[in-house]
Amino acid sequence: MPNGCLLALLASLRATGQKRLTQREIRQAFTEACPALAAEPDARARLQALLLALAAQGTIRLPDPKRWDDSQTPPLPSSLELLRDPAAGPTEAAAGWHPALAFAAMERQPAVRDALLQLNRWLQSAPSMTPPVPLRERSLHVFGDPQVLDAFRSPDGSFGGLFGGLLPLAAIGVIDTPLPLAHEMQPAALGAPLLVLENLHSYASVARWNAETQALSAVVYGGGPAVLAASAALRTLAERSRASALFYAGDLDPDGLAILARLRQQLPALQPHPNLYRWLLRHGHRAPMRSAPVGDLALTDWPADLAQAIGALFAGGQRIAQENFGTRELHGWYRARHAS
């Protein structure tokens, strides 16, 4: 189990500012802290293992097993309680913090305190910060491990600062390194819509089709929740391709819609591709739901017919995989349908 992800999950849970978290909030924190693991087929098992490890460390308290959600395998806790180390007193060397780490004097969480102390020692050594370097290079310089500082990034994966935004990246000589986007742009189709696909095989099929038809200015591989850390790159690509519209298509299930909803918070111009979703609802194979809908599905600004049909789909405990619309189906898909 990656130690960096364990620390990242704990930091994400604490960033909510709440003592008790629901299962929905736990799963959201996991997706934000460990997007690669959250995209794996066994993501539920990975999350369970991380929670059990945090409970063993004494940083969280899990409910009685009778209160775990066993609607799927493996079961997950219905809630958790964040704990403070009762033995944690005033942090060491409180009067000797580097000015950039003045906020650290009040830190009581052992894992965070230890990281801050090590970072403080490094800063006190007056290291050269020219030229600035990517985050993982600096983490290697300070901790001998390139992944330690990942645990203290903003919960949404952005590079606004470390330790809840209290430590600016420039203070430790770190530069922003936005996630690159896998994409194929068609220079002859500049000004046409741009389409983001959640899954790899759908991306591959549409990219091949678009190379022939040039109906889209660019086709982008979202990679599930990984796209949430690449919104800046997506915005830049939209500008380069002069995209007349930004569309997204993914699995018709709660997780797929959650990714789209969160990405739209960062890119309000991004819209669900209505015709692709309509096609999936009319022709796609319906399979049992992998995870129960949690909270608001954020369909209020979708076309009314789609919102109603998706609500009925989920109410029936069903989902539709994006791959239903693939290479064969693209032969009957023409440029005009991408207008909206």
For residues 260 and 4, the model is more confident at 260
**In the chain, what percentage of residues exceed pLDDT 70?**
89
Q: Which residue shows structure tokens 């913090």?
A: 97
Provide the CATH number for the domain formed by 3-82 in this structure: 1.10.10
The answer on pLDDT for 37 being more than 50 is: yes
Strand partners, 153: 162
For residues 39 and 318, the model is more confident at 318
Q: How far apart are the first and last CA of the chain?
A: 44
Lowest-pLDDT choice from 4-18, 49-63, 97-111, 274-288: 4-18
pLDDT band at residue 191 under the 50/70/90 scheme: very high
| Residues 167-189 as b or e (16 or more Cβ within 10 Å = b) | bebebbbbeeeebebebbbbeeb
pLDDT band at residue 185 under the 50/70/90 scheme: very high
pLDDT band at residue 93 under the 50/70/90 scheme: very low
pTM value is 0.58
The answer on pLDDT for 337 being more than 60 is: no
Mean pLDDT for 170-199 is 92
Q: Which residue shows structure tokens 């919104």?
A: 231
**In the chain, what percentage of residues exceed pLDDT 90?**
51
Class of domain 182-335: alpha beta
Q: By C-alpha distance, which of 109, 92, 12 is closest to 58?
A: 109
Q: What is the pLDDT of residue 249?
A: 97
Cβ neighbours of residue 106 under 8 Å, at least 6 residues apart? 91
Residues composing the chain: 340
Q: At 237, which amino acid appears?
A: L
Q: Which two tokens stand for residue 332?
A: 């009957």
Mean pLDDT for 213-223 is 96
Distance CA 297, CA 305 (A): 15
Q: Which residue shows structure tokens 């049992």?
A: 288
Q: Where in the chain is the domain with CATH 1.10.10?
A: 3-82
Cβ neighbours of residue 34 under 8 Å, at least 6 residues apart? 5, 8, 9, 46, 50
The answer on pLDDT for 291 being more than 70 is: no
Mean pLDDT of the chain: 86
Q: By C-alpha distance, which of 309, 317, 326, 255 is closest to 287?
A: 317
Q: Where in the chain is the domain with CATH 3.40.1360.10?
A: 182-335
For strands 270-272 and 246-249, give the pairing: parallel
Q: What is the pLDDT of residues 239-289, one digit of tens each?
A: 999 999 999 999 999 999 999 999 999 999 999 999 999 999 999 999 998
Are 116 and 104 a contacting pair, CB within 8 Å? Answer: yes
Are 330 and 216 a contacting pair, CB within 8 Å? Answer: no
Q: By C-alpha distance, which of 20, 18, 40 is closest to 31?
A: 40
pLDDT band at residue 336 under the 50/70/90 scheme: very low
Asked if omega into 74 is within 30° of 0 (cis), the reply is yes
